[in-house]
């Protein structure tokens, strides 16, 4: 049932980037602990906003959050997960508070409706062009969420979705490579801005 989750876990573990730790829930091959995101100053039931499947901690801050969804989920559900992460500010692991970075990437990996890829016209969609009735909505949603995140100066600065199934995310597969590329393209931007004292001349 969680073959896709475990495949994504292997992809994240294969990322080589300095000062980076991978957090995985049990479905992704982790230690069985939930990756809960909290708002407010202290961890507690009232401030728990979301549980996610995986996260990347870079230099002591969560910079990438990954959520894995089953096929054909409603766009409203995707919005809820993305904005719950944007409203959160920390995770607690073994009584240690891990802050969410002020510039984060939120990734949703959506399982194929079935395991038969179907190409979709358009360069942007080609890497994600798999058969689903909701794919055009997801593409629209990705674009509009990114616009809104820029306007509101949210801590989530980039939102992307990927489509696939366990075999397509096997190490070396095209979907695995696309996921790694999105993450590795984003992380240097985070590091660049975190080391600048002056106001950056461009935004994520």
Has residue 47 been placed in a domain?
A: yes
Alpha helices in the chain (DSSP H): 3-13, 75-87, 123-126, 135-152, 174-194
Has residue 76 been placed in a domain?
A: yes
Q: What is the pLDDT of residue 104?
A: 93
- Each residue's pLDDT tens digit, 55-106: 999 999 999 999 998 877 777 777 888 888 888 889 998 888 999 998 999 9
Has residue 165 been placed in a domain?
A: yes
Has residue 58 been placed in a domain?
A: yes
Is the distance from CB of 70 to CB of 20 less than 8 angstroms? no
114 DSSP assignment: S
Q: Please indicate whether residue 147 or residue 16 has the higher confidence score (pLDDT).
A: 16
Has residue 179 been placed in a domain?
A: yes
Which residue segment(s) compose the domain that 81 sits in? 3-194
Q: What pTM, to 2 d.p., does this model score?
A: 0.78
Q: What is the pLDDT of residue 139?
A: 83
Has residue 201 been placed in a domain?
A: no
- Each residue's pLDDT tens digit, 132-169: 457 787 888 888 888 877 767 778 889 998 988 889 99
CA distance 77 to 64: 19
Has residue 203 been placed in a domain?
A: no
For the chain, the domain total comes to: 1
Q: What is the pLDDT of residue 145?
A: 84
For 149, other C-beta atoms within 10 Å of its C-beta total: 21
Q: What is the pLDDT of residue 125?
A: 44
CA–CA–CA angle 159, 162, 164 (5° rounding): 165
Has residue 199 been placed in a domain?
A: no
Measure the CA dihedral 176/189/202/106, to 10°: 50
Cβ-Cβ contacts under 8 Å for 126 (sequence gap 6 or more): 119, 120
Express as a percent the part of the chain with pLDDT over 70: 79
CA distance 137 to 75: 7
- Tokens of residue 177, six digits: 């490579």
């Amino acid at each position: 049932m969680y073959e896709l989750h475990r495949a994504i876990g292997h992809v994240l573990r294969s990322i080589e980037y300095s000062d980076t730790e991978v957090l995985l829930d049990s479905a992704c091959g982790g230690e069985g602990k939930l990756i809960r995101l909290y708002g407010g100053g202290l961890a507690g039931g009232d401030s728990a906003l979301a549980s996610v499947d995986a996260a990347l901690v870079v230099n002591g801050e969560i910079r990438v959050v990954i959520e894995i969804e089953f096929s054909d989920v409603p766009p409203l559900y995707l919005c809820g997960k993305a904005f719950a992460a944007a409203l959160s500010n920390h995770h607690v692991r073994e009584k240690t508070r891990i802050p969410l970075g002020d510039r984060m990437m939120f990734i949703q990996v959506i399982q194929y409706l079935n395991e038969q890829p179907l190409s979709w016209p358009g360069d942007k969609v080609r890497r994600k062009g798999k058969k689903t009735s909701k794919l055009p909505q997801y593409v629209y949603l990705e674009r509009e969420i990114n616009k809104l995140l820029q306007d509101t100066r949210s801590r989530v600065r980039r939102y992307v979705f990927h489509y696939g199934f366990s075999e397509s995310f096997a190490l070396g597969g095209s979907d695995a490579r696309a996921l790694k590329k999105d993450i590795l393209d984003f992380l240097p931007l985070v590091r660049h801005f975190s080391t600048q004292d002056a106001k950056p001349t461009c935004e994520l």
